[in-house]
Amino acid sequence: MWSSKDIALIIVLAATSFAYSMSVAQLPNLITGIVGLNYFFMFGHGIVISFGFLIYNGKRWRVAFQSTILALLFIPTFAMGTPFDILARMPMILAGFLGDFILNSFYQNFKNKNKLMWWSILAALFNILLTPILTTLNMYLFYSPEVFTSFVTVITFLSPVIIIESIVGGYIGYKVFERIERTKLDALIT
């Protein structure tokens, strides 16, 4: 059973990601009108994603629920597609579900080997790269060829930036988590 602390944390992290998307990540797309240019500022999402995976301690379905809440918050905005297009938000929900299912299967192995930093980076990289892949598939199946071609072109050119920012975001998310855990230990000692 989920505790109220878990639910509150999920909502806070989803709201933080939403605030980052609306204030920073969405700007390139809004200024230029180029579909997919919002992937230029992925490091903030990498921080929130990796921190979320770590703070949930390998518990299943928290990240999937967090992604679903974020997708629902995105519905009336231009983030992840045109407003009120639920189909455009489905890749985010599916990426959250798959990331949660796959990555949390390996959490205990990484924790036992004291390699959570690498798991954090892997979590951010996997989740962030999976979203444009699923979005590309979604656009290929349900949208016009012009939108699909434009998105694929932008994602192809931005892929090195997305990968680097995901790695940096995953590392920073780990450092934030490490700092919080150290603060908890210090509070227990004193």
Token pair in block for residue 84 = 């009120």
Other Cβ atoms less than 10 A from the Cβ of 84: the count is 10
pTM equals: 0.91
Q: Crossing angle, helix 43-55 and helix 116-142, to 10 degrees?
A: 120
pLDDT, position 34? 79
Block mean pLDDT (10 aa), the chain, length 190: 91 96 86 81 93 94 96 91 91 96 95 95 96 94 91 92 96 96 78
As to burial, measured by CB atoms within 10 angstroms (0-12 exposed, 13-18 middle, 19+ buried), residue 72 is: middle
What is the domain count for the chain?
Answer: 1
- Report the sign of the C-alpha dihedral through residues 83, 22, 37, 47, in that order: negative
What's CA 58's distance to the chain center, in Å? Answer: 16
Print the domain residue range for 112. Answer: 4-189
With contact defined as beta carbons under 8 Å apart, do 58 and 103 qualify?
Answer: no
Mind giving me the DSSP string for 99-125? HHHHHTTSHHHHHHTT-HHHHHHHHHH
